Amino acid sequence: MNDDVTGSDAPLDDSDVALLARVATMLDVADPVPADLVERVQFSLALDEVFAEVAEMTRVLDDALAVRTDLADATRTETVTFSAERLTAMVTLSRVGTGRVRIDGWVTPSGVRTVALRMQGQDLTVQSDESGRFVADDLREGFVQLVFHPREGEDTGDGGGLVVTPLFKL
């Protein structure tokens, strides 16, 4: 009987362990795990509106520059559109200071409705006006999820009517 095992069936030796350590270091440098990955996953899994409709997200980045302004004074804005069967919402994200963001949003069909912002460590509720406009100001940068409630007096037929957005970063 031959006890010599070679190839892929052989047990790992010190040279294998050293090689795997170098590969791990290379991968940590080339493609590190995001520092906030666990936070993102936990927040995303915390969705308690399991039966809510999830809106599809489209994002457009824009650097808004006024005439005769310095590039350092540019306001970074992003427009995000969420589309679902029940509604469409467009939100503009504007930087309003270091680490602070303002959301200006419009939702159709228009009408007064509650818009909840779910953020880590903070939840905020705002109301849209009759034209569907809503504002949330002086928010911390980070991840947020919007939850659109049915309009006042709206019969959703299924007892729910919530529309939630995917988690996105302010």
Q: Looking at residue 157, what is its pLDDT?
A: 63
What is the Cα–Cα distance from 95 to 82, expressed in whole angstroms? 20
pLDDT at 89 over 80: yes
Averaged pLDDT, 84-88 = 90
Q: Are 136 and 144 in contact (CB under 8 A)?
A: no
Nearest alpha carbon to residue 163 among 57, 80, 42, 39: 57
Q: Looking at residue 170, what is its pLDDT?
A: 86
Q: Looking at residue 161, what is its pLDDT?
A: 81
- pLDDT tens track for 146-170: 999 998 777 666 656 889 998 898 8
Structure tokens at 96: 């309003």
Q: Looking at residue 155, what is its pLDDT?
A: 66
- pLDDT tens track for 47-81: 555 556 777 777 766 555 444 455 444 566 789 99
- The residues spanned by each domain of the chain are 37-169
Nearest alpha carbon to residue 92 among 84, 83, 82: 82
pLDDT at 134 over 90: yes
Per-position DSSP letters for 24-76, written without gaps between them: HHHHHHHSPPPTTHHHHHHHHHT---TTSEEPEEEEEEEEE--TT--GGGPEE
- What is the pTM for the complete model shown? 0.63
What is the Cα–Cα distance from 153 to 134, expressed in whole angstroms? 19
